[in-house]
């Protein structure tokens, strides 16, 4: 049982690197924390929690992730620092050793971030919590507002192709997706919140349906019926 009273009136900052899928997931993490009582820190305000959602497509991406973490630790002294995303999944030990990092969460854990924050007390050294790539199974739904009327809906995650030049299957696990019914419900909610355009996002959205026996064409047809 999570004691959410710990999070009341706390503040958080979010930093995202990489693709639209990451931005969608960070938005969902922010929503989870808001519902627990955490508000987004104002510009110039010191935050109690820092969440970094990382990318790891190239060595330069890894470097930018490390720089972002160092910068946030410096800007928000004493904040509880959580690092997740592809870099965190691929190199959790390296990330956990960065000064100021408290918790490193892999692909399977990011959707349950709240349960890994504890009482927000700083750790003496970073703790890495990940799942082996072959065991990543969960699909964490995400729908983020890109601007005033555009939303990004995550419909698929992971990849089964294991191309020699690409780290994504190792960072995000095998291809998986939610149901069409769940996607339709999220899209209806986006429309109710003023969304006029929904961009479908994922690692390999053409693979939609592998885990539910549905097809991407069926998904598009279903979403096309939504008013708004």
Q: What is the CATH number of the domain that holds 160?
A: 3.30.750.210
Task: Domain of residue 101: give its range.
Answer: 4-131
Which tens digits make up the pLDDT trace of 153-191?
999 999 999 999 899 999 999 999 999 999 999 999 999
Which stretches does DSSP call E strand in 68-160? 80-85, 101-105, 127-129, 143-145, 150-154, 156-157
Estimate to the nearest angstrom the gap between the alpha carbon of 149 and the chain centroid: 21
- For residue 16, which phi and psi values (nearest 5 degrees)? -120, 135
Number of domains in the chain: 2
Same domain? 9 vs 112: yes
Give this prediction's pTM: 0.92
Assigned token pair, 151: 């939303």
Q: Which of 111, 131, 151 is the last residue of a domain?
A: 131
Distances (CA, A) of 85 to 1, 10, 66, 170, 226: 25, 23, 13, 12, 31
Same domain? 101 vs 13: yes
Instruction: Identify whether 125 is part of a domain.
Output: yes
Same domain? 33 vs 117: yes
Q: Which of 113, 131, 149 is the last residue of a domain?
A: 131
Same domain? 8 vs 116: yes
What is the per-residue pLDDT for 18? 93
Helix, strand, coil fractions of the chain, as percent rounded to 5: 40, 20, 45
Q: Which of 103, 131, 159 is the last residue of a domain?
A: 131
What's the number of CA atoms in the CB half-sphere (13 Å) around residue 219? 27
Q: In angstroms, rounded to a whole number, what is the distance separating the alpha carbons of residues 13 and 166?
A: 30
Same domain? 160 vs 207: yes
Tell me which DSSP letter residue 181 carries. H
More confident residue, 195 or 2: 195
Q: In angstroms, rounded to a whole number, what is the distance separating the alpha carbons of residues 148 and 195?
A: 7
Same domain? 196 vs 173: yes
Same domain? 105 vs 125: yes
Instruction: Identify whether 228 is part of a domain.
Output: no
> pLDDT band for position 85 (50/70/90)?
very high
Which tens digits make up the pLDDT trace of 37-56?
999 999 999 999 999 999 99
| Largest distance between two CA atoms of the chain | 53
Which tens digits make up the pLDDT trace of 108-147?
999 999 999 999 999 999 999 999 999 998 999 999 887 6
What is the per-residue pLDDT for 48? 98
Which tens digits make up the pLDDT trace of 55-70?
998 889 999 999 999 9
Asked if the model's pLDDT at residue 218 lies above 80, the reply is: yes
Per the listing, tokens 């490390």 go with 66
Same domain? 71 vs 151: no
Same domain? 20 vs 114: yes
Instruction: Identify whether 13 is part of a domain.
Output: yes
Assigned token pair, 110: 């990011």
More confident residue, 200 or 57: 200
Asked if the model's pLDDT at residue 198 lies above 90, the reply is: yes
Q: In angstroms, rounded to a whole number, what is the distance separating the alpha carbons of residues 62 and 59?
A: 5
């Amino acid at each position: 049982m999570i004691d959410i009273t710990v999070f009341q009136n706390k503040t958080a900052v979010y930093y995202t690197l990489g693709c639209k899928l990451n931005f969608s997931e960070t938005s969902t993490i922010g929503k989870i924390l808001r519902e627990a009582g955490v508000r987004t820190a104002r510009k110039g305000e010191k935050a109690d929690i820092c969440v970094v959602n990382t990318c790891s497509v190239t060595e330069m991406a890894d470097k930018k992730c490390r720089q972002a973490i160092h910068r946030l630790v410096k800007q928000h002294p004493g904040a509880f620092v959580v690092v997740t995303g592809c870099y965190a999944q691929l190199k959790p030990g390296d990330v956990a050793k960065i000064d100021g990092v408290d918790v490193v969460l892999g692909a399977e854990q990011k959707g349950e971030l709240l349960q890994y924050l504890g009482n927000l007390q700083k750790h003496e050294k970073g703790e890495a919590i990940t799942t082996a790539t072959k065991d990543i199974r969960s699909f964490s739904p995400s729908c983020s507002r890109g601007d005033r009327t555009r939303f990004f809906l995550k419909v698929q995650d992971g990849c089964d192709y294991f191309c020699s030049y690409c780290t994504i299957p190792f960072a995000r696990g095998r291809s998986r997706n939610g149901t069409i019914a769940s996607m339709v419900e999220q899209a209806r909610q986006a429309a109710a919140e003023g969304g006029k355009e929904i961009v479908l996002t994922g690692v390999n959205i053409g693979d939609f349906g592998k885990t539910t026996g549905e097809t991407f064409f069926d998904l598009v047809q279903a979403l096309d019926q939504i008013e708004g």
